[in-house]
């Protein structure tokens, strides 16, 4: 990728596998981001690295357009997170957007479970994530979540719009499954029946079965949330949705998904070596 191409992205990260160890091969980040060094829970095998994308700004602002590309090459595996919840500010009649393209290679695994967006009154935000080449991936887990929050506004009349669109596509970019939601302020309180947090997760991979999803939902309900799952079209995998009473519950559900999913990538990490 040329320097000119890189300027299109706020963050570009490339991961590759070397003798079963996944490493950060290339990186390019500009405002508002900083990327941590890869963090390995298993210091001896160093299998699935954890990368934390840190924002140096105070959230997402009017007319801001953020773009990200993550290139997960053959047999590479990575767990990408954010350092904390992101505030989406009043758009003041404008809009803000975040677009993420994740390219996956053969035998690769991507666990992309960022912390939730906190939607303030007046926000108008579009968040999209595409995993391209899903037929090649060993695992793919993509989450999107939000918490509507403004203590100065009656929750039944607050004005905001949050659009989330996550999709799995083949290597040519043909969409196999898409999970899209448009949440508007006036209807959110009624539709969500008093729950303040929302999370949607898409799963792909042989390890993600109905038994796995049922267990996820059972554990979600233990946390005091409501969870349900469904199959995705074209045998692309499964979708899990959950509602939580507050932000703490929302973070607990996201941690639950991470704790149940990422160890599967660790287990598979040394099945194939690539130099």
CA torsion sign for 76, 79, 174, 231 is positive
The residues near 236 (Cβ < 8 Å, ≥ 6 apart) are 134, 168, 176, 177, 204
User: Where do the structural domains in the chain lie, given as residue ranges?
Assistant: 3-268
Q: Work out the average pLDDT over 23-52.
A: 85
Up-side HSE of residue 91: CA atoms within 13 Å toward CB?
A: 19
**Tokens 């599967």 identify what position?**
264
Count helices and strands (H / E) in the chain. 4, 17
The band of 258, judged by pLDDT with boundaries at 50, 70 and 90, is very high
CA distance 97 to 163: 9
- What confidence tens digit (pLDDT) does each residue in 110-138 have? 999 999 999 998 899 999 999 999 999 99
| Least confident span in 11-20, 93-102, 144-153, 258-267 | 144-153
| Angle at alpha carbon of residue 231, lines to 226 and 236, rounded to 5° | 130
- The answer, yes or no, to whether residue 202 has pLDDT greater than 50, is yes
Tokens read off for 49: 């690295």
Considering only CA atoms, which of 194, 124, 189, 114 is closest in space to residue 162?
Answer: 124
Q: What is the pTM of this model?
A: 0.92
Q: Work out the average pLDDT over 36-61.
A: 83
- Residue 219 near residue 257 (C-beta atoms within 8 A): no
Does 21 or 191 have the greater pLDDT score? 21
What is the average pLDDT score of the chain?
Answer: 89
| Secondary structure element (H or E) that encloses residue 145, with its range | strand 139-148
- What confidence tens digit (pLDDT) does each residue in 87-105 have? 999 998 899 999 999 999 9
Does 102 or 149 have the greater pLDDT score? 102
Residues, the chain, total? 275
CA distance 80 to 154: 35
* CB burial of residue 102 (10 Å; 0-12, 13-18, 19+): buried
């Amino acid at each position: 990728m040329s320097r000119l191409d890189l300027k299109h992205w706020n963050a570009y990260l490339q991961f590759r596998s070397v003798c079963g160890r996944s490493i950060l091969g290339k990186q390019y980040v500009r405002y508002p981001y900083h990327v941590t060094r890869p963090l390995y829970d298993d210091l001896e095998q160093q299998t699935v690295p954890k990368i934390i994308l840190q924002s140096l700004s105070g959230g997402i602002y009017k007319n801001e357009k953020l773009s990200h590309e993550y290139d997960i090459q053959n047999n590479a595996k990575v767990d990408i997170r954010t350092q904390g919840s992101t505030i989406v500010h009043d758009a003041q009649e404008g809009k803000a957007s975040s677009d993420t393209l994740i390219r996956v290679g053969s035998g690769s695994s991507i666990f992309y479970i960022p912390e939730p967006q906190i939607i303030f009154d007046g926000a108008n935000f579009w968040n999209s994530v595409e995993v391209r080449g899903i037929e090649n991936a060993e695992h793919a887990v993509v989450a999107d979540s939000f918490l509507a929050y403004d203590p100065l506004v009656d929750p039944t009349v607050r004005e905001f719009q949050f659009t989330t669109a996550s999709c799995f596509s083949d290597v040519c970019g043909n969409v196999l499954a898409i999970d899209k939601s448009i949440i508007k302020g006036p209807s959110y309180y009624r539709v969500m029946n008093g729950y303040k947090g929302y999370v949607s997760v898409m799963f792909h991979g042989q390890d993600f079965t109905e038994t796995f999803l049922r267990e996820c939902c059972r554990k979600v309900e233990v946390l005091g949330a409501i969870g349900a799952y469904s199959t995705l079209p074209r045998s692309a995998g499964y979708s899990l949705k959950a509602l939580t009473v507050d932000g703490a519950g929302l973070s607990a559900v996201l941690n639950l998904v991470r704790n149940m999913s990422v160890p599967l990538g660790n287990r598979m990490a040394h099945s194939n070596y690539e130099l």
